[in-house]
A and B are shown apart, each in its own frame.
Chain A
Amino acid sequence: MISMIRKEIEAYFTTPFGFVFMGIFLLLAGLTFTVSNLLGGNGDLLGMFGLLANISFMTFPILTMRQYSEERKAGTEHLLLSSRLSVLDIVLGKYIAALVVFLLTLTLTFAYPIILMIFGDPNIGGLLASYVGFFLFGSAMIAVCSFIASFTENQVIAAIASFGLLFLLVMLSSFSKSVEVPVLKQILSALAISARYDEFIRGVFRPGPVCYYICYSAVFMFLTVTNIKRRQLA
């Protein structure tokens, strides 16, 4: 799986996808930091991550749109499937590589807390919770996008469908509040990807939301593996 991760990370930076993701993400992070902290005069990153969570779903499809489509189009998917790698190795390898690029991008935003520390006295624990929370939130979004990408050999369709589904999942937290049917409300609330994120941006770090995002990612990884196996047997 290590070789799969390495190959995927290389692919992000030998093609424009890694740079485009990093560029757009950092641009959005810079804008939200400017609006929330520099212009708003806030001493923590609550506002920045709150805003970023609502708009970053636009960036994750860039990271995953070529994951499976390119392999299918070039016929290299079969090369992987007939190798000694298991489908889980392939799916996890691609997922971890995307996480590494995401994490690398996120570490570049450490410049903002440093700025805050120079000019103020932010709560370090709260900052850390915001970062961990945002990483878990992003990981779940990447898992959703990977699942969508495993369906098509067209990058554009993969990106648009991922964007649409993420938008729906983000909006579900608002929808679920207005639904009165108890079972449906619970289902929608469980699927609402941003519902449990608020705790992190408030600086609260509880195991519940951590487990929620890890399970969210695991479910979509499982669905991706199942989808690829289904196609392999077709």
Chain B
Amino acid sequence: MITVSNLTKYYGNKLGVEDVSFHIEKGEIVGMLGPNGAGKSTIMRMLAGYMTPTSGKIIINGVDAVADPAEAARHIGYLPELPPLYMEMSVERYLKFLAEIRRVPREKHASHIEEAMELAHVMEVRKRLIRNLSKGYRQRVGIAQALIGRPEILIFDEPTVGLDPRQIAEVRALIERLHRNHTILLSSHILSEIRMTCDRVLIINQGKLLCDDSFTRLAEDSIQRYSVQLKCDMERAKSALLSIAGVTGVESADASLVGVSQLYVTITPDGGTLDRLASALAAAGIPLYELKRTTKTLEEVFLSIISNPVPQRLPTQEEAV
């Protein structure tokens, strides 16, 4: 549905996006995650035809978006970070104007507008001026405008930014409803936001794509970490664990019981390290009280990925198979 190859954007001499490539299948809901200023909005603007890339290729539903941005834009509904609204218009007039300039056939205007208003839950404010609406409603009107013309792909740039928790929940529910019939790419700098709504995540930092993977694999395929309780002093426990092949790191936990050392052990996921660990501890005569796998929080994974200056890319699911 969306294929991006070697996408690069320079603002004068300043690099905005560098050599980004990814593919989004039909029906997927993908989150673009990265700190503020990472290049998420630039990528989205280029996908939506708002901006021309310096180099690279964008294929939207089989259409080359760089060569024919107007045709590609027909397949895309785009909500920028700041919803593009005419404050002096009523919601209904605004959507009608969009139906006109997007060349929706006149006889279909009413059905497109009704459908967009119903999906975005703005029917009750259809006659009100946009300037008089709350931020939450304005955001929903912004989403309704993206739906005019019935595009198959929706691109939402930070759709929940600046909303209160109730409005965030409403927008999230709306995105889930839209996912039934659309392919969605959305961006956020908040990890939990992406995790709740998306199947897959693209992590962007300093204009580079650092990671493209599913959340489950993101957590699992990153470093494996175990919590270990051993009945011995801390120094002995550390030296015993570090001598085992496959153990890449040992750190003491904050809370330890009297006479029992609690540590976090990081191992390489080669399959045999746990066996070697159990045997080595038994051979050294150190009683093992607990061995429990702890998953790194996604925040920790995210921070470790973006703080790594060398671009890394986890294998895609196909490559892993």
A contact residues vs B (CB 8 Å cutoff): 3-4, 7, 10-11, 14-15, 74-76, 78-85, 232-234
Chain B 66-80 near chain A by CB (<8 Å), digits 1 or 0: 000110011000101
With both chains docked as a complex, state the minimum distance between the C-beta of B197 and any C-beta of chain A, in angstroms. Answer: 23
B residues in contact with A234, CB < 8 Å: 52
Where chain A touches its partner, the secondary structure class is helix
User: Is the Cβ of A78 less than 8 Å from the Cβ of B70?
Assistant: no
Q: Decide if B311 is an interface residue (CB 8 Å cutoff).
A: no
Question: Given A7-B97, A232-B52, is A82 in contact with B69 using a C-beta cutoff of 8 Å?
Answer: yes
B87: interface (CB < 8 Å)? yes
| Cα–Cα distance between A93 and B155 once the two chains are bound (Å) | 28
Tell me, yes or no, whether B100 is within 8 Å of chain A by CB. Answer: yes
If A74-B82, A79-B145, A82-B50 are given as contacts, then 13 extra A-B residue pairs at C-beta distance below 8 Å, sorted by A number, are A75-B82, A75-B83, A75-B84, A76-B84, A76-B86, A79-B98, A81-B50, A82-B49, A82-B69, A82-B78, A84-B70, A85-B101, A232-B52
Q: How far is the CB of B49 from chain A (nearest CB, A)?
A: 5
Which A residue sits closest to B131, measured CB to CB? A14
Cβ of B24 under 8 Å from chain A: no
* B1: Cβ under 8 A from any A Cβ: no
Interfacial residues of chain B within 21-75, with CB under 8 A of chain A in the complex: 45, 48-50, 52, 69-70, 73-74
Partner of B84, one of A10, A79, A232, A233: A79
A79 to B145, CA, bound (A): 10
**Chain A residues positioned under 8 Å from B101 (CB to CB):** 3-4, 79-80, 83-85
B290 within 8 A of A: no
Complex Cα distance, B52 from A79, in Å, reads: 15
Contact A76 B69 (CB under 8 A): no
Q: Are A14 and B52 in contact (CB under 8 A)?
A: no
Q: Are A74 and B87 in contact (CB under 8 A)?
A: yes
Q: Are A11 and B86 in contact (CB under 8 A)?
A: yes
Are A82 and B48 in contact, CB atoms less than 8 angstroms apart? yes
B87-106 toward A: CB 8 Å interface, digit per residue (1/0)? 11100010001101111000
Residues of B within 8 A of A78 (CB): 45, 48, 50, 80, 84
Q: Could you tell me the distance in whole angstroms from the C-beta of A184 to the nearest C-beta in chain B?
A: 35
* Minimal beta-carbon separation of A53 from chain B (angstroms): 32
Q: How far is the CB of A1 from chain B (nearest CB, A)?
A: 10
Chain B residue with Cβ nearest A76: B84
* Chain A residues with CB below 8 A from B88, complex form: 10-11, 14-15
A83 vs B76: C-alpha distance in the bound complex, in angstroms? 11
Give Cα A147 to B52, complex, Å.
23
Chain A neighbourhood of B50, CB < 8 A: 78, 81-82
CA distance A15 to B84 in the complex (A): 18
Instruction: Determine if A75 and B80 form an interchain contact, defined as CB atoms under 8 angstroms apart.
Output: yes
CA distance A80 to B86 in the complex (A): 12
